[in-house]
Copies of this chain bind each other. A is one copy, B any other.
Amino acid sequence: MVKLGLIGCGRIGKLHARNLVHRVEGAQLIIVSDSNPQAAKKLASELGIEYTLDYRELLKRELDGVLVCTSTDTHKQIVIDACEAGKNVFCEKPLARTLEEVDEMVRAVRRAGVKLQVGFNRRFDPNFSQAKKEISSGVIGKPLLLKITSRDPDFPSLEYLKVSGGIWVDMTIHDFDMARYLMGEEVEEVYSTGSVLLEPRLKEFGDLDTVVTVLRFRGGAIGVIDNCRRAVYGYDQRVEILGEKGMMEVPNPLPLQNIRWDIEGAHSSKLYYFFPDRYERSFVEEMRAFIKCLREDTEPPVTGEDGRLALLLALRAQQSFKEGRPVKVG
């Protein structure tokens, strides 16, 4: 049994904690921590486990790994502390908002000889991981074109947006990771353009709501990501990859399959509203993968380097937009 502690009892922390207790085998969640006493206590009591207000107390416990689910600005310090306490780490995405911070974190991981898995959960979605498997097997041949559609159902709060680091760091970062994951290849150039079409207040702090990003991979393949903060029809998360020998489409799964026919035509289900439902399975599988790499002492499936490279692409895309030209990733 792998013994775990969890730091940060907010939305995503609770989600991981419940999955660890109810849906993941081979792991035992021992303790949770949160500087907010109510949050820590409530989650601990729901799951029948211990809690502490100070994550440093948690790090003193005998644990195989910790999950860092706090707000992004606290990631660096907690991850470094966890490394120094000799704990393997699962850290939510993004690792940090600057490359410098990420580099510091990755150095701490190496120094301590622990493992770091980054929370790009979408890789563990059954559709995406099956697509990856088939693409790697060569069934569609050499990839030529990648298209990622990634649209939220609605805006988060303006307060959140102001400190989010901008749409590329907050939202597209998942798609940058997905692009690298599916293509199995690095990006050499990024071009991004976009607009404020839905929420004029974004202009006050230089953010966008509708963005298209073009990726040039080293081998010449081209990728396109389109993002929008509001798709009224739901959380739209699709991928397609054209290869030399075929094409792989990953459409949206639907919560209901029913089709109603009337005099106007056919009517079918809405999309899942947002990520806790849409990516439910991926969060379970992500934890299973983390447990597995601890138990079998293997490389995590999403490393600190993966976290770093996704952030690098996000920052280059932002730069591209600001400078109005494609930017080399370097």
B142, B191, B228, B242: the one within 8 Å of A193 (CB): B191
A265 & B193 in contact (Cβ 8 Å cutoff): no
**Which residues of A come within 8 Å of B, CB atoms?**
21-23, 126-127, 130-131, 134, 139-140, 142, 144-145, 147, 149, 151, 189, 191, 193-198, 210-212, 214, 216, 219-222, 224, 226, 228, 230-234, 236, 242, 244-253, 255-271, 324-326
A127 & B258 in contact (Cβ 8 Å cutoff): yes
CB-CB under 8 A from A197, the residues of chain B are 142, 144, 219-221, 244
B210 & A144 in contact (Cβ 8 Å cutoff): yes
Query: How far is A21 from B47 in the complex, measured between Cα atoms in Å?
Result: 12
Task: Determine the residue in chain B with the shortest Cβ distance to A233.
Answer: B261
CB-CB under 8 A from A266, the residues of chain B are 233, 267-269
CB-CB under 8 A from A260, the residues of chain B are 134, 139-140, 246-249
Query: How far is A236 from B147 in the complex, measured between Cα atoms in Å?
Result: 14
B126, B145, B198: the one within 8 Å of A144 (CB): B198
B145 & A226 in contact (Cβ 8 Å cutoff): yes
Give the interface centre of A142, A228, A253, A262 by most chain B CB atoms within 10 Å: A262
Task: Determine the residue in chain B with the shortest Cβ distance to A213.
Answer: B214
A248 to B: closest C-beta gap in Å: 5
A232 & B265 in contact (Cβ 8 Å cutoff): no
Given known A-B contacts A212-B214, A214-B193, A214-B214, A262 and B232 have beta carbons under 8 A apart: yes
**Sorted from nearest, which 3 A-B pairs have the closest CB atoms?**
A195-B220, A233-B261, A246-B262
A257 & B246 in contact (Cβ 8 Å cutoff): no
Query: How far is A211 from B223 in the complex, measured between Cα atoms in Å?
Result: 10
Query: How far is A250 from B259 in the complex, measured between Cα atoms in Å?
Result: 7
A182 to B: closest C-beta gap in Å: 12
Query: How far is A262 from B242 in the complex, measured between Cα atoms in Å?
Result: 10
B130 & A258 in contact (Cβ 8 Å cutoff): yes
B139, B248, B324: the one within 8 Å of A326 (CB): B324
B216 & A193 in contact (Cβ 8 Å cutoff): yes
Query: How far is A151 from B144 in the complex, measured between Cα atoms in Å?
Result: 12
B265 & A247 in contact (Cβ 8 Å cutoff): no
A289 to B: closest C-beta gap in Å: 18
B246 & A261 in contact (Cβ 8 Å cutoff): yes
Query: How far is A230 from B263 in the complex, measured between Cα atoms in Å?
Result: 11
CB-CB under 8 A from A214, the residues of chain B are 191, 193, 212, 214
A175 to B: closest C-beta gap in Å: 14
B219, B234, B252: the one within 8 Å of A257 (CB): B252
CB-CB under 8 A from A189, the residues of chain B are 193
A225 to B: closest C-beta gap in Å: 10
CB-CB under 8 A from A233, the residues of chain B are 246-247, 261-263, 265-266
* 21 A-B pairs whose Cβ atoms sit less than 8 Å apart in the complex: A126-B255, A144-B228, A147-B147, A193-B222, A194-B222, A195-B221, A212-B214, A231-B242, A232-B246, A245-B262, A246-B262, A246-B263, A248-B259, A249-B261, A250-B257, A252-B257, A253-B257, A264-B267, A266-B267, A266-B268, A324-B325
